[in-house]
Amino acid sequence: MTEIRKNLPVDEQLAVLKRGVVDLVSEDDLRRKLEDSLETGQPLRVKLGADPTRPDLHLGHAVILRKMRQFQDLGHKVIMLIGDFTATIGDPSGKSKTRPPLSIEEARANAQSYLEQCRLILRSEPEVLEIRSNGEWLEEMGYKDIIALTAKYTVARILERDDFSKRLREGTPISMHELLYPLTQGYDSVALKADVELGGTDQLFNNLVGRALQRDYGQEPQVVMTLPLLVGLDGTEKMSKSLDNYIGVSDEPHAIFAGLMKVPDTLLENYFTLLTDLPQDRISEVLAGHPVEAHRQLAREVLGWLAPGSDPDAAEERFRSVAKGGIPDDLPEVTVAADELNDEGNVSMARLVVLAGLEPSNGAARKLIQNRGLKVAGEPYTDAQGWVTQAELGTEGGFVVQKGKDKFVRLILD
């Protein structure tokens, strides 16, 4: 883990912190806060709020988490704010309709997994990491408190948000709880006395509400920094698990390496800027060379901070082996119980795909097979209604199934 540099000159801190940033409101305020921090020895309080609507993180999330890590490395305290309460409301940011709310139990269960993965990137020392939940203060607010909060902001200002104004023009309903969401998120900054708030570009409006509310509550307004939404491996839309164009932060090193080798050439500079610490002149030098070598360098740089104990040579060797049609030796194994077989001693291929954890249901497994997304022992498997015999399943060395290019499972008959 890198050394914490508490007394780095302000200009040098700014050079680190501004890299990759889209919106900075405002640089003058950030400079002044950094100067005050150096003078007083008091670290800045840097907030990132996250509604744990899903339990898993990908490299798109890592862009903002890396910025938080940079603040930590400069000696400032970052606050991971888990929006367990706001997740029960549903945030429509950047969407044509509100996101479905979760139960408080679902939100808190997701939060545990979320925090475990955040710690792959963030420092854990208590002087630079604080973990909070907005249920701490929002659950305690009564109706009178809510009315007092709504008095701090006008409907006209709320409706300035792009997605709200668009829905209003199109006649799409907007529920009252959606109008309250930006105020609720903004009040988190008041409760935490945040100096800086980070977020994706889709969170700019909400974070600026926090800045305005702090001023209304007599606090020094927070600096707002937004970072771009990382484009996914398909090169068209933001990285998202639902679009299957993502690389998970907790993926195996070989899977991370393989995923980064798929990044479209046109996105390499963006990935290098947002996911590595290489100086810009070095990035330009790498990009001037062969694209394959640029991809290799990117993969190794990302593995260096995301999986520091991993062997990049082994990850690359596995990638090359699989790319040539080979099957790795170190595969995850799943035992298939004998009672999965029918009276004839057979089991459907769709069921085996589900047991292997490659798809959640028989229907999804059949669709995978129909789309030519499954291989058996390295060969394409195309019979969506196919069956596997006991003898085939009991083959010495196991029955190897493969989804896509690099998801292998060895099935062993019990």
Annotated binding-site ranges for ATP: 241
Residue found by looking up tokens 């707002």 in the block = 224
Collapse the DSSP code of 380 into the 3-class scheme (helix H, G, I; strand E, B; otherwise coil) and give the result: strand
User: DSSP characters for 130-160?
Assistant: EEEETHHHHTT--HHHHHHHHTTS-HHHHTT
Length of the chain: 414
Structure token pair of residue 131: 């973990």
What count of other Cβ atoms lies within 10 Å of the Cβ of residue 173? 9
Q: Contact, 150 vs 183, CB < 8 A?
A: yes
Can you tell me the distance from the alpha carbon of 89 to that of 176, in angstroms, rounded to the nearest whole number?
11
Short-list 157, 164, 162, CA closest to 183: 157
Structure token pair of residue 204: 């700019």
Structure token pair of residue 369: 């097979």
Collapse the DSSP code of 399 into the 3-class scheme (helix H, G, I; strand E, B; otherwise coil) and give the result: strand
Short-list 119, 117, 47, CA closest to 83: 47
Can you tell me the distance from the alpha carbon of 205 to that of 165, in angstroms, rounded to the nearest whole number?
13
The DSSP 8-state label assigned to residue 190 in this structure reads: H
Annotated binding site: 241
Q: Contact, 207 vs 197, CB < 8 A?
A: yes
Residue found by looking up tokens 């607010």 in the block = 141
Geometric angle at alpha carbon 375, from 374 and 379, rounded to 5°: 145
Burial grade of 146 (CB within 10 A; 0-12, 13-18, 19 or more):
middle
Q: Contact, 168 vs 159, CB < 8 A?
A: yes
Cis (ω within 30 of 0) for the bond into 348?
no
Can you tell me the distance from the alpha carbon of 104 to that of 84, in angstroms, rounded to the nearest whole number?
6
Geometric angle at alpha carbon 104, from 48 and 167, rounded to 5°: 70
